[in-house]
Structure 1
Amino acid sequence: MALRRSCCKRSVKSVICRMSGLVGLIALSSVAWASASGTMNPSPSENLGPYNAAFLAGGIGLQRKLAPDARLLSAAAPWSIGGWIDWRRRQRGTEILTAIGELASRSWRGLELRNGHAQLVLGPGIRLVGSAAIAPGHWTAVMATYDGRTARLYVGGNEVAERSDETLAVAARIALAPAPSPLSARAAPVGKHLTVNHFGGKLALWSVHQHALSAARIGALAAAPPAFGLIEFRHVGVGWAVQKREWIGLDQPQDPWTLPHAHSAPSAPIATPPPPASTALDPAGAHTWTVSNWSLRVAAPRARDPGGARLSSVDYPADAKPWYPAVVPGTVLTTLIARGVYPDPNYGLNNLAIPERLAHQDYWYRSVFGAPGALRGRHLTLTFLGINYRAEVWLNGTRLGTITGAFIRGVFDVTHLVRPGRLNALAVRIVPPPHPGIPHEESVAAGPGLNGGELALDGPTFIATGGWDWIPGIRDRDIGLWQPVTLAASGALRILDPRVKTILPLPRRDVADVSIAVPVRNMAGRPLAATVKARFDSVTVQRSLTLPPGVTTVRFSPGEFAQLRVPHPRLWWPNGYGPATLHRLHIAVYHATRLSDRKSLNFGMRELTYELSLFDREGRLRRVEFNPSLANARAARLIDVRHRAIKRTPNGWAASLSAAGEHSPAVRTLPASTLAPYLVIRVNGVRIAARGGNWGMDDDLKRIGRHRLEPYFRLEHAAHLDIMRNWLGQNTEGVFYDLADKYGFLVLNDFWISTQNFQLEPQDPALFLANVRDVISRYRNHPSIALWIGRNEGVPPPILNDGMAALVAKLDGTRYYTPSSNSVNLQVSGPYNYRPPAAYFTTLARGFAVEVGTPSLASLDSVRAMIPAADRWPLNDTYAYHDWHFGGNGDTKTFMAALDRQYGAPRSLEDFERKAQLMDYVSYRAIFEGFNAHLWTRNSGRLLWMTHPAWPSNTWQIYSSDYDTAAAYYGVKKACEPLHAQLDLPDYRPAIINVTRKAQPGLELESRIFTLGGRLLARRVDHADIAANSTARFAPLDLSPFFAREGVVIVKLTLRDGLGRIRSENVYWPSATAAGQRRLDRLARQPVELTARDREAGSAQIVDVALTNRGRDTALATRITMQDARGTRVLPVYYGDNYVTLLPGETRRIQVECPLNGRRCARVAVHGWNVKDRVVAISAAGSRR
């Protein structure tokens, strides 16, 4: 009070004085509560308080260690706990305020609220409950004391309960507002139901004292409350932090002795003949042509360079400096490899024979093309669909401008520059990213190194080409004209990027409202009369209007055009849930009656909604279903993903509802879920069990023709996967989305920022957001895109995060934007190394896990194709360079240790590959069967890191870059069957998984246990009627007596439907211990009879293969390989199954599709874990050979 009396009495000074007096009161109160413990300066390591903290009802608490020798931890030691409490709302049940000790045990003491009443916990079943409830919304002093014999509870300075009892010693840990768990309710009175909630509110001056305060002291403290409005509270778990640290990459090349070395020399370059030169434009659609006839050369220093004006002259002498016929679309390095300058970097250590200077110099592309005379009088647009990194564009001696960023189109009006009926010259100077960095070269000694480096500063670009732990540094960083260059002709009215949106009356799907928005640019400089027409299926709409100069968006909605309300629509579904139906939309704009421009595109009728948990304004975590299409219709931002709105839950982080979102019909409240806070993706109202994987990059050299990429999509489709992630946006191109649309894959689409607090952040936000804007506008009609993701593993810096969220809402409006690929409503990333299969059922990758990986060796044939003979055994630097990691995230140390325990140390490459394939089959099957086991209770999505390799790799893949499919692929394919029988670990519980939209009645699951010799030991049959999109689990199989007698057994599950048809078969070979698997290595090689016959079906050769085990023991992991007449693998080939296990006498039939656009399949080879190698010719008659 003396502080107040000394204050001035006038004006601002008076206000300042009064405020300083309040601060003084806070300080004095803090001192009073702290000094009550007997010391003015308690040791910080004791963590006894005082604490000033605010907690969210749906959030987390604070935990601290106490000094191990603190007196209050002992049994019968005196202590006091308490302070001021302000809680937001009364909840029925118990909310723990403070716990000293371990909540996971029965030995802890502390304060709770129980149905609004203060309650003191002394130990298991020992509680004191206050008589009067504490009113929410007001500060109340609460204190509990124990003097060694008697415990007392005080509320508002008054004693409300007393009890004499003994206490137990507790652990040296204090928790404030700990998150609820079943363990925290163990001390509840027997026979009484206890709901444990999380405390939502504030604790002020909350302290622990190592003696019992007197009643008088407590009364005095309660009578002198502090100025709560001036206390700076710690808001626990509120707000995502911005980046604090970063890895800049190598600033000098690594030491030479850590570089990879090989016994073989680099391969000689091999030149391929370029296509015949032609100045003709290539037709690419209606009034659109592709510019071809490109040449490439290294640019001279600018002082000596001829420059764009001269190079874009038709008269420039082509032989003035050597030019290479260029591969366009393609990268600089693609051209230099094709022209025989450098060897194939994907073989052995050839990449080391290509110099780093490729990424440190400029290049010129040049094309001379003839423009048809019919282009006279037309408006002409030159479009670069994708360059990297910066382009200076010149046409016929005139500089058109620049393009910067790998993912933005460069669009130029060249109406007055193109010379119809004559030759034209186009020159493009390609400038590499300004910060290409220095790649780490992986070896046994150096390991995989740290990912990325300086190149991250230059996003938007192909950041991974600086070197990652699944791809080496690409020497040119994939710069060049990596997508086509087109020339389009139109009238004065030109169609830009249309937008198509579908809304369904969910949960009904019997009608679809289709809305179409068509932006039209009027280039005439004066208003023009126009008619815009749109047509798909049997629906046609049109609108006539006058368009002013500039861009006008012409809209068609079901409210005005009844035909856009489509009855019984053919919807687009993810793989396994229905057909991925696409509709072709044709748009035309007319000036008067003359066609000015037209555009066609595919779209899918489908609606995305999202289940997730979000914080409301009261701090509660609400489970909701969010429909962004409805949100956009009301022009409101309903979900807040800004840094301060991201808050921590007991199971990760979650975004928040905005004020508008709390009451919007686009946000539907759902019952509380054990999935909280994790995401569930719904398509057309149906929950999608998201099973798939990451694409780090389609191809290390950006060879992305449809003919090259489509086999990969077919493989993943055949493996029953339904989702893929465009990691870091490295696959952002039309063909990727076209194929995802066709094959029914949802796409999680990243933008170009990587790991927070590790990778550098982009240095040019305006450039970054310009690329984002173009990508959204360009690709938003693809039904496959399910989610826009701001950053890989972290939240982008605020200027980018807020900018991307705004762009998604404005330009798309049908999808959710989440700032991070993990943690925020998603699971954290990993693991990436080998883990015991049972862990995928119990502790790993719960919720929606976007990255789960384990080593995956390529097949023996693929290993031989990527590694020269001199370097194939033992494991060495060449394997390390091709991603068999010695260290890092994907360290194979745990894999090799498990392999040794289970099967014994490998004796040769062939023995190593055989054992690695068996481990991979088990591991990859377990990853997805573990997901299936807890579908919709703990799991909603699981994506492999990775499914797709960008180059010949030996980790994190289910097939090879050459299209070969090793054991991991078939483990995944088995586990992801839409109707599936599986054996859950660790208790060997049979289960049925139905990931379809149809109920499956009358199912019969037969479980049989055999010896390795095929003798039946036991049999059980379970029956179930299973609803759509659900699972059934049965009693565990007791295998222990069979393990005791046999060591290893065969468990075969057979699932039949009500008609007796086999719908799923699954075979396991478990043992009591990992070492018990060694008996498998002693199995004799079995003779497997093989027959094959073929037939043609359309553009494919179908080969029907029959395998029969004629041996006395089980034949494990039996693999067939299609060969041509010379005994060389045929790829790609699509196997119905492979790595099959055959009991003695058992026959399995496998259908194989060999596309007829390649070499014909003429022979079939068979080998396996314990199978005698054999090759037979394919016969139309199917006779044995």
Structure 2
Amino acid sequence: MIAGSIICNLGGRIGAVALIAFAATGRGMAQSPTVPSLIIMAQPAVAYGPYNAHILQGGIGLSKNLHEHEALAAAQHSWSMSLWFKSDEPAQTAFLAGVGHPRENFPRYLALKDGRPAFWAGGMGEGHELIGATPLARGVWHSLAVSVDADGRSHLLADGAEVASGTIALGVSSSAILMAPTEDSSWPGTKHFGGLLAQVSLRSTPLSADAISAMSTVPAGLDNLPFEEGSRPWPIQTQGPSGMVAPQDPSLLPHSSAPFLAPKAVPWAVGTDAAINDGNTLILRHGWMLADAADIKVSGSEIAGSSFDDAKWMSAVVPGTVLTTLIARGVYPDPDFGLDNMAIPESLSKHSFWYRNTFTPPATMKGRKLAMTFHGINYRATIFINGNRVGDVLGAFRHKEFDVTQFVKPGEKNTLAVFIEPPFHPGIAHEQSLAAGSGDNGGVMMLDGPTFGATEGWDWIPGIRDRNIGIWQDVVVTASGAVEVAVPQIITHLSDPDPAITTAEITVRVPLANDTKAAVRGTVGIAFDDVHLSKAVIVPSGGTSVELSPKEFPQLIVQHPKLWWPNGYGAQDLHTMKLVFEQGRKASDVREERFGIREITYEISAFDASGHVRRVEDSPTVAKLLGKGPVIEQSHEGFRETPEGWITSIVPGMEDSPALKPDADMKPGTALVIKVNGIRIAVKGGSWGMDDMLKRVSRERIEPFFRLHKEANVNMIRNWMGQDTEDVFYELADEYGMLIWNDFWDSTQNWNLEPDDSELFLANAKDTISRYRNHPSIAVWCGRNEGVPPPAINVGLNKLITELDGTRYYSADSNKINLHDSGPYKYQEPEDYFTKLSLGFAVEVGLASPPTLEAFQAFLPKEDQWPISDDWAYHDWHQGGNGATEPFVQTINEEFGPATSLTDFDRKAQMLNYEGHRAVFEGFNAHLWQPNSGRLLWMTQPAWPSTQWQIFSHDYDTHGSFYGVKKAAEPIHVQMNLPAHDVAIINNTLVPLTNVTVTAQVFDTRSKPLLDKTATLTAAANAETPALAMELQASLEAAGTVLVKLELKDSAGKLLSDNFYWLAAKKSDYRRMNEMPAANLTAMGKISTVNGGEGHATITLVNSGTGAAIATKLTLKDATTGLRILPAYYSDNYVSLLPGATKTIEIAYPTTSATTMMKVDLRGWNVTPASIALAP
């Protein structure tokens, strides 16, 4: 045996060193397990190292800085570098370790060239490289070194023997040692190294004969060194600010020139609750009373007694929060208006409250098992019925069911009392102002986990004074026999992705609860569409789960099913399944569950066991049906970094799972791609921070928001931090074709605090997954906003999703891992959305989005509307931070001149709103699948009247942002790609567009023609197709500012898409638009139809003048009051018309909002304000 050596020091610059001698055998041979003994040996001084690294071939390398002014960075004589390596790759050409970056003029690297040892110093050939003759075997340890003599001659050594030498031109390198760099270089054929590097050392002297000799023998124990990972696992959280710890300084509070509005009570809701579902279900929505617990001096048992007098309590809004009731009863003003939220005391966040209800279940419930289910209580609740304490609820998203058979008396009056307590850590709200800025995003309440964490205050919502505590979802009493049917799981798997020949296999898993002490015999039956089947079962005490599979019941194989598709790709067909458990011929329990037939798969890049990056298509549904669990890793250890960003890994041993298919198309790079029914979905949409800041979430209030999303042509809504987790949200998403990216209740890693109670978090998650898993709209479960949950929660979520669902992708993180990083959130140059921003799959990208003039006037006091005031700042007009509005205002000033009034601001701001939001999605379109696969705005939905991050306002009014998105996201679209100004066709439909004609016309601001181009071509399905090279620069330079009209028509001349741009050679040239003459625009309007609860009006615009009409805005109003009619759904708006052009716009509106006298107001960039009456 020959003694080898390993330097003890693991990094940094050292002088004389101690070496550890190891027993070893042979060159490149297996190592002996001999235990090392410490020996002091004389060696050349090591300036840096030794470093040990584990490098994934698909990952990244490591970098170690040299000292400033380090002589070795410029060394040309008398230095050396050595290392040991074990390669995972055969015949590799790769850099192992060296000084400087490979793209520099004078890097110097130990490397492999087709598996042969090499030293490379930039360039090629003699004087730039030394290459040995014999390849080195993979999978075993080899030594590699370069030693440069005082005379400048370089010696390349492999396994202790010289394999090449020569004089190499060396120069100054940057001061860093790089191990396995990923940078491009001029050396042909270079790929990233994969394997182990050991004892990487840089010396200020040549290697001695003893040192060279020691490198001929592999030291024992190299495999057991403490290797530093090139691609490190995802880190755990190390910090988290807790928000404000003291009230805000009075000088930084917002101030208004107007007084608070007086509180205004609304009439009490009068009515009674009627039983449904054959008398087996009673929803408690009437008769609720509310009181502050500080005013109540008796126990819960007494409050829940029949003799308690609640006459002095106030009528409560249920479902609803405490604050919703206090506003409705006239205690506090509406916080939506101005600074009126400041009129509500922040101390409310520390108050507890009592709810009380007297209800009478139908007598038909007698003799049956009775359950009371609380669909949503925030945050802590104690339940009493008829003087008895029933139980507790903790967390806003529990779906808590109590057996109340012994407490509730059907046919008689019963009393329910609910004691509500706030979160443990309500925190202190920050108040936005011009001076104070937007404040922190969240605070100490994040410790409380499953609640409405944003209500402590975020940069898009003020602190909600009660933190949204209350009975915010329904309370339901149900009756059943001995066996109760719980929420089933309905799994739909498509045998062929071709919709024309698809067969769907339906698997139903039915949980059956049996709280009796004896087993119960009976049959479980299901029915949907024309499928009817039943199965005899024995339900043991405690319950069981029954599976009904296509293998056992062939009728569950559905031929040519009606599929559920995202918006823009097909119909949203939904099916209702009836489930029943019968004892004899009597139904013990009946449940209905709505579902959609569809399957979602996911293209993704992931590390395999060898460290390579593989592009695969993951089918969680296949894995679920095989009972094999997930095949994609979602752990801190499984997340690793690549040159393109963080990605996940394949679960060890699952590389060959039938749930994974190779995906040879690497165009999206590492980005996630979502496929529905075998079709790639170009995901376009936005986040909802919260549907409504007070959780006023009735279907009547929320449905218009979903319809607006559908009409904006988007197809995904992100349920940010799980704040919208309620029945109506998912029901409407199903109906309107919105895919849901569904977060849980944890936010930004190393910024927000992590939940304090993982068991509480996971209990709420369990109910959420079980309750909503059958909604076809849910596409992704996401563990955390901007980060990975702490390990206990992340592992727990992955386990719950696997067990309770298993048919969807679980993404632990909302950005970075197979996704683009968050942001930006402020106004950007439109062309940047085409070239560098939000590439791949981006879950958050936002920009300023002030609402319409009328919306401003509706939520701000007249005294504070202009100039920009604290009221603006309070409603999210940020002076700094992520959402700073300065770039937006600066662009207005540069392009059009400073705004002089609110009206002038609206006129100019809507130009930027339209242009900017259109660019976000046209930039996405321009690189569809290369690499773009998803882009979500931050946000589409405002939680309250806001000036930021929205495509419509809280009152349903739609401004320029909405129509920019609507235009860019249409399924068939013609657009101009910036910055080159070339024209392209975007076809997001499933069929090619054959023989379509694209026309592009260019005019100056006086409507003088400058350029006209036409092309006829075929546009491929679900793709971007280049159409015209415009060569617009000459026109821009000549005219300064140009107008561009695009049209796309089919072979019969039918208009498929049009688009209109105003473009300038430089920003100041946009001011030429200020000189455009007033347009000669005429309009005619009539009420065309009234269908049920919806009216329709038709408006025809005609430009009869000689100049273009730019950004013409239509607003439907009550002719008597002048108030807007909302919601109103416009087929188009902010339209631009060339001379002689005609445009017809359809407006749909609810007849409940309409009056006998209606009008449409017109205004625009150069359109004189006018009104037209609507005639029947």
Scaled by the length of structure 2, the TM-score of the pair is 0.94
Corresponding position: 1:162 with 2:165: yes
How many residue pairs end up in the alignment? 1145
Which residue identity is paired with 2:1164?
Answer: G
For the pair 1:603 / 2:595, whether they are aligned, the reply is: yes
The alpha-carbon distance between structure 1 residues 1039 and 214, as it changes in their structure 2 partners (threshold 3 A), is farther
Counterpart of 2:318, as a letter, is V
The match for 1:532 is 524
Q: Structure 1's 174 and 1146: CA in aligned 2 closer, same or farther, altered over 3 A? A: farther
2:301 equivalent to 1:309: yes
Report the CA distance between 1:18 and its aligned residue: 9.5
Task: Choose from 912, 915, 922 the match for 1:922.
Answer: 915
Indicate the residue corresponding to 1:10 in structure 2: none
CA distance in 2, matches of 1:946, 1:1152: 25
CA deviations on 1:998-1049 (whole Å, 9 max, x unpaired) are 1111122112111112221111223332221111124532222212221000
1:496 matched residue in structure 2:
486
Equivalent AA in structure 1 for residue 1084 of structure 2? T
Map of 1:807-846 to 2, 5 A cutoff?
807-846=800-839
Q: Distance in 2 between matches of 1:274 and 1:356?
A: 26
* Structure 2: distance between partners of 1:867 and 1:176: 59
Partners in 2 of 1:942 and 1:4 — Cα distance? 56
CA deviation after TM superposition for structure 1 residue 1053, in Å: 1.4
Preserved CA contact (<8 Å) 1:849 1:941: yes
Deviates more, 1:667-676 or 1:400-409: 667-676
Offset of residue 763 of structure 1:
1.0
Counterparts in 2 of 1:530 and 1:91: CA distance versus 1, 3 Å: farther
Amino acid at match of 2:84: W
The question of whether the paired residues in 2 share the 8 Å contact of 1:281 and 1:369 is answered with no
1:1146 aligns with 2:1141: yes
Out of 765, 768, 780, the residue aligned to residue 772 of structure 1 is: 765
How many percent identity over aligned positions? Answer: 43
Q: Provide the residue aligned with 1:1156 in structure 2.
A: 1151
1:347 deviation in Å?
0.2
SS across alignment from 1:974: helix
2:724 to 725, 731, 735: 731
Q: Deviations over 1:439-493 (max 9, x none)?
A: 1111111100111011111111010111000000000000000001111111222
Residue 1088 in structure 1 maps to residue 1087 in structure 2: no
Per-residue deviation at 1:212?
A: 3.7
Which of 224, 228, 243 matches 1:234?
Answer: 228
Paired residues for 1:519-668 under 5 Å: 519-637=511-629, 638-668=631-661
Please tell me the residue identity of whatever aligns with 2:74: S
Q: Which of 107, 120, 130 lines up with 2:132 in the alignment?
A: 130
Deviation at 1:433, TM superposition (A): 0.6
Q: Give the deviation of 1:81 after TM superposition.
A: 2.7
Select 1:443's aligned residue among 433, 442, 467: 433
What letter matches 1:109 in structure 2? R
* Distance in 2 (alpha carbons) for counterparts of 1:660 and 1:223: 35
Contact 2:494/2:599 (CA < 8 Å) preserved in 1? yes
Does residue 413 of the first structure (1) align with residue 416 of the second (2)? no
Residues 73, 174 of structure 2: 8 Å contact kept: yes
Match of 2:1161?
A: 1165
Output one character per residue of 1:708-755: Cα deviation in whole Å (capped at 9) or x when no partner: 111111111011101110000000001000000001111010000111
For 1:420 and 1:854, locate their aligned partners in 2 and report how far apart those are by CA, in whole Å.
Answer: 56
Separation in 1, partners of 2:803, 2:545: 14
Matches for 1:957-1036 after TM superposition, within 5 Å: 957-1034=950-1027, 1036=1029
Q: Deviations over 1:22-43 (max 9, x none)?
A: 99969879x87xx63x45xx4x
Alpha-carbon distance in 2 for matches of 1:1157, 1:457:
44
Q: Distance in 1 between matches of 2:651 and 2:180?
A: 25
TM-superposed deviation, 1:948: 0.3
Is the alpha carbon distance of 1:1048 and 1:554 closer, same or farther for their aligned partners in structure 2, counting shifts above 3 Å?
same
CA pair 1142-463 structure 1, distance change in 2 beyond 3 A: same
CA distance in 2, matches of 1:68, 1:1036: 50
Match of 1:688 among 650, 665, 681: 681
Cα–Cα, structure 1 residues 1104 and 225, in superposed 2: closer, same or farther, change >3 Å? same
Q: State the match for 1:12 in structure 2.
A: none
**DSSP-derived class of the 2:134 partner:** strand
Q: In 1, distance between residues paired with 2:374 and 2:838?
A: 41
Q: Counterpart amino acid of 2:1005?
A: L
- Structure 2: which 5+ residue stretches go unaligned? 6-19, 25-31
Measured after TM superposition, the shift of residue 1059 of structure 1 is: 2.1
Q: Contact conserved, 1:26 with 1:226, CA < 8 A, in 2?
A: no
How far apart are residue 96 of structure 1 and its match?
2.0
Q: What is the alpha-carbon distance in structure 1 between the residues aligned to residue 474 and residue 959 of structure 2? A: 34
Q: Which amino acid aligns with 1:645?
A: G
Aligned residue runs from structure 1 range 77-116, under 5 A:
77-90=77-90, 94-116=93-115
Structure 2 CA distance for partners of 1:1081 and 1:326, relative to 1, 3 Å:
same
Query: Within 2, Cα distance between the matches of 1:23 and 1:414?
Result: 70
Q: Does 1:433 align with 2:423?
A: yes
Q: Residues of 2 paired with 1:742 and 1:26: CA distance?
A: 72
The SS at the match of 1:925 is helix
Point out the more displaced range, 17-26 or 1034-1043. Answer: 17-26
Residue 1174, structure 1, aligned to residue 1170, structure 2: yes
| Matching of residue 1129 in structure 1 with residue 1124 in structure 2 | yes
- The alignment partner of 1:411 has SS state of strand
Are the equivalent residues in 2 in contact too, given 1:71–1:77 (CA < 8 A)?
no
SS at match of 2:1072: helix
Segment of structure 1 superposing worse, 465-474 or 518-527 = 518-527
Q: CA RMSD in A?
A: 2.3
What whole-Å deviation, never above 9, does each CA across 1:224-260 have from its counterpart, x for those lacking one?
A: 7363144211012231111100011111111111011
SS at match of 2:119: strand
Q: In structure 1, give the amino acid aligned to 2:1065.
A: A
Alignment of 1:145-294 (within 5 A): 145-147=147-149, 149-180=152-183, 184-188=184-188, 194=189, 196-213=190-207, 217-223=211-217, 225=219, 227-276=221-270, 278=272, 280-281=273-274, 283=276, 287-294=280-287
2:329 alignment partner in structure 1: 339
Counterpart selection for 1:512 from 488, 504, 509: 504
Shift of the alpha carbon at 1:53? 0.8
Query: 1:532 Cα deviation (Å)?
Result: 1.3
> Contact between 2:4 and 2:218, CA under 8 Å: does it hold in 1?
no
Deviation at 1:314, TM superposition (A): 1.4
User: Do the aligned residues in 1 keep the contact of 2:524 with 2:535 (CA within 8 Å)?
Assistant: yes
Q: 1:285 to 1:67 in 2, by over 3 A?
A: farther
| Residue 318 of structure 2 is aligned to residue 328 of structure 1 | yes
Which region of structure 1 is more displaced relative to structure 2, 70-79 or 1001-1010?
70-79
- The more displaced of 165-174 and 918-927 is 165-174
Q: Give per-residue Cα distances to partners, 1:115-146, cap 9 Å, x unaligned.
A: 21222222222332221111111111111234
> TM-score, normalised on structure 1?
0.94
CA deviations on 1:528-547 (whole Å, 9 max, x unpaired) are 22111100000111112222
Which stretches of structure 1, 4 residues or longer, exceed 6 Å deviation after superposition? 1-5, 16-24, 26-29
Instruction: Output the CA distance in 2 between the equivalents of 1:438 and 1:817.
Output: 33
SS of match in other structure, 2:495: coil
2:672 pairs with 675, 679, 695, which one? 679
The answer on whether the counterparts of 1:58 and 1:198 sit within 8 Å (CA) in structure 2 is: yes
Name the structure 2 match of 1:469: 459
Aligned to 2:72: 72
* Cα displacement (A) at 1:1112: 3.2
SS at match of 1:643: coil
CA contact (8 A) 1:296 1:324 kept: yes
Q: Deviation at 1:1097?
A: 4.4
Which consecutive residues of structure 1, in runs of 5 or more, have no partner in the other structure? 6-15, 43-47, 189-193, 1181-1185
Q: Deviations over 1:654-683 (max 9, x none)?
A: 221122321211111222614232110111
Moved more, 420-429 or 1080-1089: 1080-1089
Counterpart of 1:710, as a letter, is E
- How far the C-alpha of 1:82 sits from its partner, in A, is 2.7
The answer to whether the 8 A contact 1:570-1:605 is kept is yes
CA–CA separation in structure 1 for the residues paired with 2:613 and 2:683? 23
